[in-house]
Amino acid sequence: MLGHCAVMKEEVMKKRPLVLTICLSVILLMGVPMTASGAPEAIHIGATVSQTGHFSSEIGPFKRLMIAWADIVNEQGGIMVKEYNKRLPVKFTVYDDKSDQATAKKYYERLVTVDKVHILLGPYSSPLTFGASTAGENHQVPFIAICANSPKIYTRGFEWIVAVIDIGPRYTYRYWEMVKNQGVAKSVSFVVEDTIHPLGVFKGSQKLSQEAGLTVLSSDVVPAKTRDFTPIITKLKEKNPDIVYVSSNIPFAINFMKQAKEMSLNPREYHCIHHSGVFRDPLGGTAEGVVGQSYWVEGMKLGDTKLITDVLKRADISEPMYPWSPAYVAAFQIVQAAIEKAGTLDNKVLMDNLKGLKLDTVLGEAYFHETGYGSINTYPSQIQDGKYKIIYPPEVATGKHIYPRAVWK
């Protein structure tokens, strides 16, 4: 009997590694949030939002936007994933990148390695996206850049990135197309904020304006924190251009416009590339007639207006105050369409389907160029009676271009 027991003990001891392996596998499997069919509990999307730091003024509350969209999708039962033959809910993990490139990069690494997300939505701005997108590339997780249009991001040979929007140098191509078609303006002067996105837009616009037949009278690249524009405005008065084109972020443009009015600088048109309620409200009447770029304005005959209004309403975000919010809604649509088309959450299949995607979003047709940058671009809009009107092209326009603007007395 004792001998039999000893044999059994020996056998158990021999099989010990195998038993341990089975036990560990069971424990590990229990730890992974999967259902009986092997499907994950949710489609896990990772992102950062600049809730603090200098971009917080532009996208601070956008975590609400993500949650609002997820709630809408989840109320409809989730997103269909054929592989599991069921609809899966959407879940977000969002960190505050503090508007800092290093912090964004750190959190995107965490999203991939610790949180194990299925797909990444990019942070706000080109500099942050430039740093953060390496996480997607290194770990082969699909990365959808949203508001990041510096060509530098898309010339690194990255395979795991696509972007919602078109590249910066083409940011105002529709405006120059309109100017060329109208043929009234003859000269332009550029005032440029010395940061990555405005510089990119300026470089493209300088070329596009010349192609539109305009003479470039001056180009002043000015530090972002400039408060006193007296020297620039004094020069512009001497040059007397038809168009003063301000390629900058909103605070810079507001400060410039305020002083331009204080010093009675009266070109026939002001173009400020970024304008919105944030631009209009502090300027009041000074903003009247200013042309700029908008992705979407209310009343525009473009895309699924209901989705934008539902998401914005639920998130309690006002589009005129946060003009980049529609681009995020377009990104959500891209995520949904890519997963539905792929029918799986497998990284490679998902990425391949993303690259080949073509769909109508809230901002028009979205597709991706070979290097990853997107197709969605802005439309020229003008502030008329305090409201934003899309002025070109005619098929989506909500108002007519007023040129020249009313002179300040």
Binding residues for another protein (CB under 8 A): 51-54, 56-58, 60-61, 194, 220-223, 225-228, 230-232, 234-235, 238, 250-251, 254-255, 258-259, 261-264, 278, 281-286, 321-322, 409
In the complex, least distance from residue 23 CB atom to another protein, rounded to whole angstroms: 47
In the complex, least distance from residue 184 CB atom to another protein, rounded to whole angstroms: 27
CA proximity to 125, closest of 185, 206, 62:
62
Q: How far is residue 331's CA from residue 337's CA, in Å, rounded to a whole number?
A: 10
Closest CB to another protein among 147 and 278?
278
Closest CB to another protein among 223 and 299?
223
Question: In the Cβ-directed half-sphere of 272, how many Cα atoms lie within 13 Å?
Answer: 26
CA proximity to 119, closest of 47, 63, 183:
47
Residue 367, number of CB atoms within 10 A of its CB: 14
Closest CB to another protein among 56 and 398?
56
DSSP 394: T
In the complex, least distance from residue 285 CB atom to another protein, rounded to whole angstroms: 7
Q: What is the Rg, in whole angstroms, of the alpha carbon atoms belonging to the chain? A: 26
Q: How far is residue 332's CA from residue 320's CA, in Å, rounded to a whole number?
A: 20
Tokens 């971009």 belong to which residue? 55
CA proximity to 276, closest of 210, 322, 330:
322
Closest CB to another protein among 189 and 361?
189
Q: What is the enclosing helix (H) or strand (E) of 145?
A: strand 143-145
Q: How far is residue 173's CA from residue 155's CA, in Å, rounded to a whole number?
A: 21
The DSSP secondary structure of 291-347, one letter per residue, reads EEEES--TT-S-S-HHHHHHHHHHHT--TTTSTTHHHHHHHHHHHHHHHHHH-S--H
In the complex, least distance from residue 257 CB atom to another protein, rounded to whole angstroms: 10
Closest CB to another protein among 187 and 255?
255
Closest CB to another protein among 266 and 398?
266
Q: Which residues pair with 80 in a beta bridge?
A: 87
Tokens of 171: 């940011």
Closest CB to another protein among 296 and 368?
296
- Please report, in angstroms and rounded to a whole number, the separation of the first and last CA atoms in the chain: 113
Closest CB to another protein among 211 and 316?
316
